[in-house]
Amino acid sequence: MTDSEIQSVKLRFGIIGNSQQLNNAIRVAMQVAPTDMTVLISGESGSGKESFSKIIHSLSPRKHGSFIAINCGAIPEGTIDSELFGHEKGAFTGAQETRKGYFEVTNGGTIFLDEIGEMPLGTQARLLRVLENGEFIKVGSSKVQKTDVRVVGATNVNLLEAVQRGKFREDLYYRLNTVPIYVPPLRERGGDIHLLFRKFATDFAERYRVKPLVLAPEAVEILNRFRWPGNIRQLKNIVERISVLEMDRQISGEKLAHYLPETSSSTLPTLFRGKDGSDDNFSEREILYKILFDMRSDVTELKKLVHQLLKGGEINQELIEEHQELFDNIGKELPIAPPQEEPKPYLLARPASTTSAPTSMGASSERTQFEEAKYEELSLDEEEESLSLEKKEKEMIIKALRKNNNKRKYAAQDLGISERTLYRKIKQYEIDE
């Protein structure tokens, strides 16, 4: 597909943007459209998946047939079989007459099944039969009927994880995923965000008979930096709100930030759970491991640092600056214990100088040797005890990087650490990105 053909499709279906990922998705949709292959469109909610189903239908030999879009998550579980496959009179309470389902009505056309991951397991078995044999049975009937329908599915969840949890049929997943199309979220489309803002601002200016909004340079930067969890739908709603409420059509960064919701109101660890109650990102145990490791790691590094300072006999300013983040958090994250009246022997470090005159019977040198041996023994014990936590932290860092496509900024946010700390940990554990 040439660039001019892709641009033509964008104009026809009102798609705004020039990002590489978006163009690749459109190219795949155009290539698969002339076939009868089943397509699975994946992407976050509000990213515009339905537009791709319309591209596939309109460029296919079925373009003169019916096209129907169905939100599987919006149909109650008790009636979805009747909606899709129809029912006979008296099949259930309230079935006063025979009804044709979508697969019968759309024969020769295309059905777009949005949020297909929300489909009940029983309905999934019926759908699998349609995809493999083109057959279905109405609710309350024993007669097998034929249909010739192309199915385009869409999901905003990870269906492979749903398969592992037993929420989605594995055979149906592979039957649907003949041709996968990934629609990128808005935050991964770079300059497309500003283009969409200007398009929506122009549309709403015409609708409400006002001048279009114009963003200041700092406002454009804030616009591109925001994560847009609601994607295009969220951006459109915010542009409409600003168009109606703001009298001044010049939008500064401060004014735009007033309309953007706070993505996080707390820095405390939070458990994220899916719709079925399962953990979405990290399990509760993994989060506890992370908290414990962060505490242990900071304490261990501080002990090593103090040991180096005491062995050197003087405070090295460069060494402190290198580990400044450890000193910044002293007194904030860990409680400071009150000083003990008599320090324990194993907490004493070697004196800076051992040239002083020995006391009777060599008591001072014996005590110094005991303290040194005890300190080294403590250091070895600490290293052995931290191995399991270090292994767990490495696994969590790898998991966070994979989840965020190796984007350190977002991986650090998921882990609850700074990007600088994450970079240091990646180097420490020699993690390949």
Predicted pLDDT at 384: 53
Highest mean pLDDT among 233-247, 288-302, 309-323, 413-427: 233-247
Residue 351 CA to residue 199 CA, distance in Å, equals 71
In a domain, 264, yes or no: no
Q: Is residue 272 part of a domain?
A: no
Residue 201 in any domain: the answer is yes
Joined tokens for residue 406: 């190796």
Separation CA 417–CA 297 (nearest Å): 13
**56 is a domain residue:** yes
* Confidence at residue 219, expressed as pLDDT on a 0 to 100 scale: 96
Q: Is the pLDDT of residue 398 over 60?
A: yes
- Residue 71: strand pairing partners: 114
Q: Are residues 171 and 216 in the same domain?
A: no
Shared domain check, 81 and 176: yes
The mean-pLDDT minimum among 138-147, 184-193, 408-417 falls in 408-417
- Find the farthest-apart pair of alpha carbons in the chain and give their distance in angstroms, rounded: 109
The arithmetic mean of pLDDT across residues 376-382, rounded, is: 52
> Looking at the domain assignment, is residue 100 inside a domain?
yes
324/341 Cα distance (integer angstroms): 29
Distance CA 318, CA 311 (A): 16
Mean pLDDT along residues 32-44: 96
β-strand pairing of 144-146 with 135-137 = antiparallel
Q: Do residue 31 and residue 78 come from a single domain?
A: yes
pLDDT greater than 80 at residue 351: no
Distance between CA 326 and CA 338 in Å, rounded? 20
- Please report whether residue 273 resides in a domain: no
Cα–Cα distances in angstroms (integers) from residue 45 to residues 153, 181, 229, in the given order: 14, 15, 8
Q: Are 173 and 193 members of one domain?
A: no
Average pLDDT over residues 10-37: 95
Indicate if the pLDDT at residue 181 is higher than 90.
yes
Phi, psi for 197 (deg, rounded to 5): -60, -45
Same domain (yes/no): 291, 175 = no
- My answer on whether 295 and 402 are in the same domain is yes
The residue length of the chain stands at 433
The stretch 247-254 carries a mean pLDDT of: 94
Checking if the pLDDT of 130 tops 90, the result is yes
pTM over 0.85? The answer is: no
The predicted structure's pLDDT at residue 373: 52
Same-domain check for residues 242 and 374: no
Q: Which two tokens stand for residue 212?
A: 């279009």
Query: At which of 184, 202, 231 does a domain end?
Result: 184
- Three-state secondary structure along the chain? CCHHHHHHHHHHHCCCCCCHHHHHHHHHHHHHCCCCCCEEEECCCCCCHHHHHHHHHHCCCCCCCCEEEEEHHHCCCCCHHHHHHCECCCCCCCCCCCECCHHHHCCCCEEEEECHHHCCHHHHHHHHHHHHHCEEECECCCCEEECCCEEEEEECCCHHHHHHCCCCCHHHHHHHCCEEEECCCHHHCCCHHHHHHHHHHHHHHHHHCCCCCEECHHHHHHHHHCCCCCHHHHHHHHHHHHHHHCCCCEECHHHHHHHCCCCCCCCCCCCCECCCCCECCCCHHHHHHHHHHHHHHHHHHHHHHHHHHHHHCCCCHHHHHHCHHHHHCECCCECCCCCCCCCCHHHCCCCCCCCCCCCHHHHHHHHHHHHHHHHHHHHHHHHHHHHHHHHHHHHHHHHHHHHCCCCHHHHHHHHCCCHHHHHHHHHHHCCCC
Structure token pair of residue 317: 């300013």
Q: Specify the CATH number for the domain of residue 246.
A: 1.10.8.60
**What confidence tens digit (pLDDT) does each residue in 263-301 have?**
543 334 444 444 444 444 445 556 666 677 677 767 777
Q: What average pLDDT does this structure show over 389-406?
A: 83
Q: Mean pLDDT over all residues of the chain?
A: 81
Q: Pick the range with the lowest mean pLDDT from 47-61, 92-106, 117-131, 164-178.
A: 92-106
The confidence band for 414, taking pLDDT boundaries of 50, 70 and 90, is confident
Residue ending a domain, among 129, 151, 184, is 184
C-alpha to C-alpha distance for 427 and 354, rounded to whole angstroms: 38
139, 164, 184: which is the final residue of a domain?
Answer: 184
Written as six digits, the tokens of 186 are: 């808005």
Query: Based on the structure, what is the number of domains in the chain?
Result: 3
pLDDT tens figures, 69-90? 999 999 998 899 999 999 999 8
pLDDT band for 344, please (50, 70, 90 cuts). Answer: very low
Instruction: Tell me the residue range of the domain where 247 lies.
Output: 188-259
Residue 270 included in any domain? no
Q: Which two tokens stand for residue 105?
A: 């009505």
Nearest of 348, 346, 358, 344 to residue 310 by alpha carbon: 348
Instruction: Inform me whether the pLDDT recorded for 98 exceeds 50.
Output: yes
Give the pLDDT confidence score for residue 270 in this predicted structure.
45
Same domain, 123 and 218: no
Backbone φ/ψ region at 134: left (φ over 0), alpha (ψ -120 to 50), beta: left
Which residues, 6 or more positions from 291, have their beta carbon under 8 angstroms from its beta carbon? 269
Task: Give yes or no: residues 108 and 133 share one domain.
Answer: yes
Same-domain pairing of 86 and 111: yes
Predicted local confidence at residue 345, as pLDDT: 42
Q: Among the listed ranges 55-64, 182-191, 254-263, 331-340, which one has the minimum average pLDDT value?
A: 331-340
**Which residues make beta-bridge pairs with 153?**
40, 113
| 163 and 30 share one domain | yes
Reading the block at residue 231, the tokens are 């994607």
Q: Is 279 within a domain? A: no
Same domain, 97 and 214: no
pLDDT band at 314 (very low <50, low <70, confident <90, very high): low
